[in-house]
């Protein structure tokens, strides 16, 4: 098939027309991915329209992530609508720097590391653009203290409900990560095999990068195939410190 005919086929596809129109009614029916950026979006995403030849369509976020694409940080296609959902948060200090803990109505929504309060709040806003964010130091204090205890003493259990919000594939990865005990590690490829998708190591790595619950979902225990620390959303230095702490606990 020639490039010209491929582009023509795509541009006749009703999904392409919905993408061009940024049709909100099409959200939830499919997502589109852009090969040149490796990102997938909602049909209504306000991002610049891609070239049709670079676009492919997927039934939903799970399928797009298995194909190796990552979620757009502008339209958050892997989240259900969180319009007006109240999310309360507070910021505390740990030996690894400031940490933000956020609670939704169903449980713990976010645990984020950062270098200062402004960076932490910006990170939370970017993850939950439609939520009503409220500083609530008193209401979140008990959860904040429990999370800090887990950071400082990783063998301590965290006894509180979690509100993991992501695509079906992401939540499967996050749940699998929670079964890696302190002091142990696994590779991205090993996790992919445990999940029954052995060719999806890159998608597993992307799910780790999107993890909203640092330490609680211990993605720092996931390494590259050769044992390297690889990347970590909150810095490789923090990843190394967490692993060293667990190894000597």
Residue 21's CB is within 10 A of a number of other CB atoms, namely: 12
Distance of CA 8 to the CA centre of its chain: 34
How far apart are alpha carbons 207 and 184 in whole angstroms? 19
How far apart are alpha carbons 42 and 82 in whole angstroms? 15
Residues assigned a catalytic role: 219
Nearest-10 Cα torsion for 53, 58, 64, 70: 60
Contact 103, 88 (CB under 8 A): yes
Contact 96, 113 (CB under 8 A): yes
How far apart are alpha carbons 5 and 87 in whole angstroms? 48
Q: Is 226 helix (H, G, I), strand (E, B) or coil?
A: coil
Distance of CA 88 to the CA centre of its chain: 19
Listing DSSP states for 83-106 in one string gives TT-EEEEEEEEETTEEEEEEEETT
């Amino acid at each position: 098939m020639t490039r010209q005919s491929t582009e023509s086929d795509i541009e006749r596809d009703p999904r392409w027309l919905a993408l061009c129109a940024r049709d909100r009614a099409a959200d939830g029916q499919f997502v589109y991915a852009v090969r040149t950026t490796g990102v997938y979006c909602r049909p209504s995403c306000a991002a610049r329209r891609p070239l049709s030849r670079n676009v492919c369509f997927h039934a939903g976020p799970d399928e797009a992530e298995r194909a190796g694409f990552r979620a757009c940080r502008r339209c958050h296609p892997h989240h259900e609508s969180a319009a007006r959902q109240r999310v309360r948060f507070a910021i505390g200090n740990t030996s690894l720097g400031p940490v933000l803990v956020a609670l939704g109505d169903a449980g713990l929504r976010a645990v984020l590391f950062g270098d200062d309060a402004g960076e932490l709040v910006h990170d939370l806003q970017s993850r939950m653009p439609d939520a009503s964010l409220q500083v609530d130091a008193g209401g979140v204090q008990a959860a904040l203290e429990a999370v800090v205890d887990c950071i400082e003493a990783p063998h301590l259990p965290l006894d509180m409900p979690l509100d993991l919000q992501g695509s079906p594939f992401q939540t499967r990865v996050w749940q699998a990560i929670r079964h890696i005990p302190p002091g142990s590690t696994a590779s991205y490829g090993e996790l992919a095999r445990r999940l029954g998708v052995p060719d999806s190591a890159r998608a597993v790595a992307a799910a780790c990068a999107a993890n909203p619950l640092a330490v609680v979902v211990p993605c720092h225990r996931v390494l590259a195939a050769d044992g390297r620390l690889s990347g970590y959303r909150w810095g490789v230095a923090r990843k190394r410190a967490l692993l060293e702490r667990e190894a000597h606990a």
